[in-house]
């Protein structure tokens, strides 16, 4: 038993160390970097965002109001960006870093330019780091690590995410008699139904051109429709044979 425990521990460490930027889908770019503020931003954020999107990453802002549901629920599926001014007398140098939910550096790359002017020089240095970023190819490993790594930083980010949701939405409980869910209004055009027991998104509902009718993306990945009926939320749940069953969630 002891040997098995040691093996699992070593395996988990190996998996964590093996994490790369490409394992992630979401990357947060802050409104500004501490080392590149105001008139010293040099267009670096725009250049970084454009490059990440070209490599299939979903770029998120620091404010969580418009984050997708899966990012809000699992902050460990996100990387945070930092740009450091690696000051030098004769070169424009910087360091690009991506950090995980434990504030551990997943990616660290230095760039250096001989161009003396600050804006073109720092942009040239940043471009050197960007070529080292692989194309996004998200894996489930990130989520598994988030579930098995119980640390204070993770707990804090989860709490921050919940607070962000509560600050920007009204939470209402619904039930179909079997499943209890919470309706969380993300913005004027969409809301999510979150499983009350596990905090996992049950469905995401987005408005259509017809009032009270929604496009529904279930947690299973299936798409269907939903609508309001007598103050209840109705979702047409797909069955294995291709038919649909009417699932009524009544307010509690």
> For residue range 64-121, what is the model confidence (pLDDT) as tens digits?
777 787 777 777 889 999 999 988 878 999 999 999 988 899 999 999 999 989 999 9
Q: Yes or no: say if 199 and 73 are a contact pair by the CB < 8 Å rule.
A: yes
Query: What are the tokens at 68?
Result: 């997708």
Q: Is 87 exposed, middle or buried (0-12, 13-18, 19+ CB in 10 A)?
A: exposed
Q: CA-to-CA distance for 54 and 240, rounded, in angstroms?
A: 37
Q: Is the pLDDT of residue 17 over 60?
A: no
**pTM for this model (two decimals):** 0.54
Q: CA-to-CA distance for 246 and 234, rounded, in angstroms?
A: 7
Query: How is residue 29 annotated by DSSP?
Result: -
Q: CA-to-CA distance for 189 and 182, rounded, in angstroms?
A: 17
Mean pLDDT confidence for 17-24: 77
């Amino acid at each position: 038993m002891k040997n098995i425990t040691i093996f699992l521990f070593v395996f988990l460490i190996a998996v964590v160390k093996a994490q790369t930027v490409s394992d992630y889908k979401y990357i947060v770019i802050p409104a500004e970097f501490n080392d590149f503020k105001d008139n010293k931003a040099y267009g670096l954020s725009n250049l970084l965002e454009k490059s990440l999107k070209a490599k299939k990453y979903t770029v998120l802002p620091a404010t969580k109001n418009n984050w997708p549901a899966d990012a809000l629920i699992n902050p460990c599926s996100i990387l945070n960006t930092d740009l450091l001014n690696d000051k030098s007398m004769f070169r424009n140098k910087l360091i690009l870093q991506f950090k995980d939910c434990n504030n551990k550096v997943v990616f660290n790359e230095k760039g250096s330019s001989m161009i003396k002017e600050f804006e073109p020089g720092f942009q040239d240095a940043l471009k050197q780091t960007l070529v080292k970023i692989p194309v996004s190819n998200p894996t489930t490993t990130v989520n598994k690590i988030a579930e098995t790594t119980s640390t204070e930083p993770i707990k804090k980010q989860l709490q921050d995410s919940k607070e962000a949701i509560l600050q920007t939405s009204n939470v209402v409980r619904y039930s179909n008699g079997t499943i209890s869910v919470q309706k969380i209004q993300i913005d004027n055009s969409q809301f999510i139904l979150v499983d009350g027991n596990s905090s996992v998104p049950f469905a995401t509902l987005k408005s259509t051109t017809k009032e009270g009718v929604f496009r529904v993306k279930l947690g299973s990945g299936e798409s269907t429709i939903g609508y309001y009926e007598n103050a209840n939320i109705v979702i047409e749940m797909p069955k294995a044979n291709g038919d649909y069953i009417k699932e009524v969630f009544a307010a509690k």
